[in-house]
Amino acid sequence: MLSLSLVPAVGSGPPALEKAGGSFVPRDLIAPVAEQGITVLLFPGRAQQEDWPGCGEARLTTAQRKSHIQVLLLIPACTATEEKTLPELRVSKNLELQDSIKPEKVEFNSLNFNSLLQWQPRRHIRNDTVYFVQYKVYGQQEWTNKMDCWGIDELFCDLTQEMSDVREPYYGRVKAVSSCIHSDWNTSWRFIPWWETKVGPPLLKMNPCNRSIEIEIKAPSSPYKGKNGRNISMKKYHDLLYRIFIINHSVPGKHKMYEGRKKMIKIENLTPGTTCCVVAETYLPVLDRSSEYSSVLCTAPL
């Protein structure tokens, strides 16, 4: 555990920050920030009630991040001792209050390996609530801080680049801090990107021809780059089949007209000027799983 106190500054500049042993601020919240060279400011406690909102109540807020440099503002209570020592930030250990802000439903949501850790807040939380995210690979002892998601007010954290080894199992966890009350961590279920990510539908392009239509089919892309600097296709990770369906407005429903791995197919013997509409989905045979349908595309043969 850490306690934080101020050393009186020289002149009018910001005060220096001193770390000392104690039991006031959770180390897993503050220490990693300091270790990353990120500025932490603890404002003096002699401010008047009208000078600082929430005066008399210690609370934790977050300033805007610029160039991935985050500044945490620790605003303590507005009192000081007779010896003119500066206040320390004390965190409530009220278990009931801690549980009241603990994030709920911590889970991964992933499409084409774009993986977000998401959670829901408890009801009636305060507007000053911020969240802290960590992740690890299954089997590791230590958790890793996700610094871009350290003291955020959003309800999601992008862990795509941290999970580029898509066959490894991962965990994520989140804790909340509100008005100097910090919740326990809430941990997700084990998540394996290769197994659990949803694969999107293929990209289609329709080219009208003489009494026919050519359809170009392209697999969705992953967020990861290859040696050529381009995004790696999802077909490099999975065996993909494409299913193409014709939509006939005179007959309800979709009618499958192709299933396979070709990059281009041709619909022939069409009546010139008659609109032809198609949709597509991606099918993963190994996982017996289909994507959502693509958007409807329509064109007319020449």
CA 127 to CA 109: how far, in whole Å? 25
Which position has the higher pLDDT, 122 or 143?
A: 143
- How much is the average pLDDT of 42-68? 35
CA 126 to CA 1: how far, in whole Å? 25
pLDDT at 67 over 50: no
Within 13 A of 3's CA, how many CA atoms are on the CB side?
12
- How much is the average pLDDT of 162-183? 94
Which position has the higher pLDDT, 91 or 238?
A: 238
Same fold, 95-196 and 203-299: yes
pLDDT at 48 over 70: no
pLDDT at 90 over 80: no
Using CA atoms, how far residue 268 sits from 94, 147, 149, 274, in Å, is 72, 55, 53, 12
- CATH number for 203-299 (one of 1.10.10.1100, 3.40.630.10, 2.60.40.10, 3.20.20.140): it is 2.60.40.10
Domain boundaries, the chain: 2-75, 95-196, 203-299
| pLDDT confidence band for 24 (50 / 70 / 90) | very low
| pLDDT confidence band for 94 (50 / 70 / 90) | low
41-50, 169-178, 212-221: least confident range: 41-50
48-62, 92-106, 249-263, 270-284: least confident range: 48-62
Q: Is domain 95-196 classified as CATH 2.60.40.10?
A: yes
pLDDT at 1 over 90: no
CA 200 to CA 182: how far, in whole Å? 38
